[in-house]
Amino acid sequence: MSIILENNLNLQLDQIYSILQEREKYIPKELYHYRSISKDENIKCNKHVDALKNEKIYLSNPYNFNDPYDSAFSIDIEKFKEDIKKISKQKLKEQIIDNKIREAGIDPNCVNNKEIMYKDINIDMGIMDGFLDENQQFFYDYYVKNRIKFKVSCLSEIHDSILMWSHYANQHQGFCIGYDTSEIEEKIKKQLFPVFYHETFFPLINVDISDKKLNLLIKHKDWRYEREWRLISDEKFLPLKPSKIYLGVKFNEEYLDYFKDIACEKNCKLYRMEMNYSEYALKAKEINL
C-alpha cells in the first residue's frame, strides 16, 4: 500500500486519521527490513547481524536518517522569527528592569507588577533580526529536533526493490529480514504505522497530544516506492522474530555458512537474491539448509 495524500489539508487529515484508526487491517502479511554488511568486516561484530540473532530491531532518531525532511513539518520562518524576537525582547526587558532594581539595593524577586515597567523600555531588535536571518538553519534544526520525541525503525512491504537493496543493504552486499506480521505481538503491532506520501511540505498544525507521531509518518512522494511502515517507540529496540532471510546479489560467500546457521537456529527460510537477465527485476531463490 502506497498512500498518496490529497492536496486539500482537511481531506489529508481526514484520510490520515481514517487509515490510522483502522491501520491493523492494512498491515501486509509480511514486512521487510534491509540491513547492510561491509565487504570485509567481521560478520560476528556487525550490529545488524547481532540484532537478527537476538530477535530484536533497533530504533533511532529520524533526524539522523538520509532524508533531511524526514519527520519535519514546514513552518512559517517569518512567524517563527517573530516569536523568537518576542521571547528575546521580553527576556531582555526583564533583565534590564531587574538590573535597575538591584542598583537600587532591592531584591527583584520582592517587587510586584514589574510588567508595568517593561512597556516603557524600547529595545532595537535590528541586531537580533540580522542574527536570526543568518542562523535560520540552526533555529529550524533546533526546533525540529525538539519536536522529535520518538525513535523509529523503517520497514517495507517489498523485499525485491533494486533501489532499497542499493541504498540500505550496501549495494546488494547486505541482507533483508522478513517478518510474518501475524506473529508480531499485539503490543508491538500497536506501534506499527503506515507512511503517507505527499507532493508538498506538510504544514505545521496544532494537533492534540494523541497525534504526536503524525510528523513521523509523512514523507515526500518521491519516497513512495519504498512502501514504508514504521515502528515508533521511545525504546531503543523492540523484540521482533524473523521468519525469512534474504541475502543480496553481491553477498559475500564467506558469510553464507554463518547465515545458514542463523536460519536453522531461528527456523527461518533462507533465500539468495538473483538478477533476472530478461528484465530489471530481482528474484529470490531458496537456499537448502
- In tens, the pLDDT along 204-227 reads 554 444 456 777 888 888 999 999
**Helix (H) or strand (E) segment spanning residue 153:** strand 151-156
Share of the chain above pLDDT 70, in %: 73
198 contact partners, CB below 8 Å, separation of at least 6: 4, 5, 12, 218, 219, 220, 221
More reliable by pLDDT, 122 or 283: 283
Spell out the domain ranges in the chain.
3-71+149-286, 77-145
Q: What is the pTM of this model?
A: 0.77
List residues bridging with 208 in a β-sheet: none
Residue 40's CB is within 10 A of a number of other CB atoms, namely: 7
Greatest Cα pair distance, the chain, in angstroms, is: 88
Q: What is the pLDDT of residue 129?
A: 64
In this prediction, residue 30 carries a pLDDT of 96
- As a 3-state breakdown, the chain gives helix, strand, coil percent values, each rounded to 5, of 45, 20, 35
CA gap 62, 161 in Å, rounded:
22
Q: Which three cell numbers stand for residue 254?
A: 564467506
- Cell numbers describing residue 253: 560467500
Element (H, E) at 237: strand 237-239
- The C-alpha cell 536571518 sits at 133
Cβ-based neighbours of 81, under 8 Å, separated by 6 or more: 129, 132, 133, 136
| For residues 62-79, average pLDDT | 76
Give the pLDDT band (50/70/90) at residue 13. Answer: confident
pLDDT (0 to 100) of residue 207: 46
Separation of alpha carbons 238 and 232, rounded Å:
10
Does residue 170 register a pLDDT over 90?
Answer: yes
Over 90: is that where the pLDDT of 133 sits? Answer: no
- Identify whether the C-beta of residue 167 lies closer than 8 Å to the C-beta of residue 66: yes
- Three-class secondary structure of residue 197 per DSSP: strand
Which H helix or E strand runs over 282? strand 282-286
Residue 176: how many other CB atoms lie within 10 Å: 25
